[in-house]
Amino acid sequence: MASTETMAPTVPPLTILTENERDIAEGVYQFAVETIGPKSAQMDRDNHIDPDLVKQFFDLDLMGIEIPEEFGGLGQNFGTAIAVIEALARVDAACAVVVDVQNTLVANAILRWGSPELKKKYLPQLAKSKVASYALSEAGSGSDAFALATTAAKKGDKWVLNGEKLWITNGLEAELFLVFANADKSKGYKGITAFFVESSWKGFTKGKKEDKLGIRASSTLALSFEDLEVPEENVVGKVGEGYKIAIETLNEGRIGIGAQMLGIARAALDYSTKYVKQRVQFGKPLAEFQAIQHELARMDMELECARLAVYNAARMKESGRPFLREAAIAKLKSSEVAEMCASRGLELLGGYGYVKDYPLEKLYRDCKIGKIYEGTSFMQLGTIAKEVLRREIP
């Protein structure tokens, strides 16, 4: 029952997905089991993703799922991206993060707010060759995301960026960065502007790589900018529109986080179920004890509720309807369910659950970030509460 075993890639009927989405997700899961699974534990220990895997993500068009085919992407919908992220996270959440950030945050932002010139130049790179990252957070602006200290000053036909960023996912592998800086502090958050930056430009420095609890193969870096010159044409959207871009991309990104958490929860349930069917105590398999059956039932029930929340939010986004509340619910619920499933699954394995030879220990570490990044659980509760209080109750 060690984690090096290959689990049978059983995939239940995903009735909330279209046939096309289901086929793509099942193919990605098979790939993940065969290719990522054997490397997962070592990448976790090394705190580093295998570069060959990243190349394969590009080769399989997983880094440009919504990017139109004319730019080299897969040309699929948002639901497909979410299904792919969930499928990857069932095997390795860190790999899912790499694909998630590329698709739901960066590519989405360029597709929605990039000029025709930016799209023509960068979408093919995002789809086929270059990892991207999303640089919003700073030491003094976490949940208060718009307390940015990074500045942008106009200098001729360029903008000059100065400042530092923290907790930047994909930072080590990325060559392209969506960076948020304040172009006019007198306007507060309305001065925030988004820039698309290349890490090879003078004045761009990658700093400390964080040694994290979970999703360790996914790199998290500090960045610094010292008189970094950015061409005028690399402004994403309009000057002062950065706050809107950040809010809306993070709303979409939270659905991606929800998909990551679904994958972790499903992996915990699958492995726990397999284990209790084989583990014999008091003369019979653990699965024959009613208390164990009830644990599995509760895990399965909560996972189904979380899955419905995540894909409901994805469908609302696709249909052009407001989905602020739904995205918050999806992220909050799925992160809680992932933690519950990983924790209870670990306990079902007993002492084996607590050691690194079995996968529950890693799943337990990987799920914790779901309550923290792209908006803490406290922030999601606040968002949901505001929407509740806006209701007119007869």
Distance CA 45, CA 24 (A): 30
Q: Which residues pair with 231 in a beta bridge?
A: 158
Q: What share of the chain is helix, strand, coil (3-state, %, to 5)?
A: 55, 15, 30
Residue whose C-alpha is closest to residue 165's, from 195, 206, 198, 107: 206
CB 85 within 8 Å of CB 99: yes
Distance CA 192, CA 324 (A): 21
Tokens 């500045």, residue located: 151
Alpha helices (runs of H) in 37-130, residue ranges in sequence order: 37-46, 51-59, 78-89, 93-100, 108-113, 116-128
Catalytic residue among 21, 138, 173, 374: 374
**How distant is the alpha carbon of residue 185 from its chain centre?**
30
- In the annotation, is 374 catalytic? yes
Beta pairing class for 176-182 and 132-135: parallel
Q: Which residues are catalytic?
A: 374
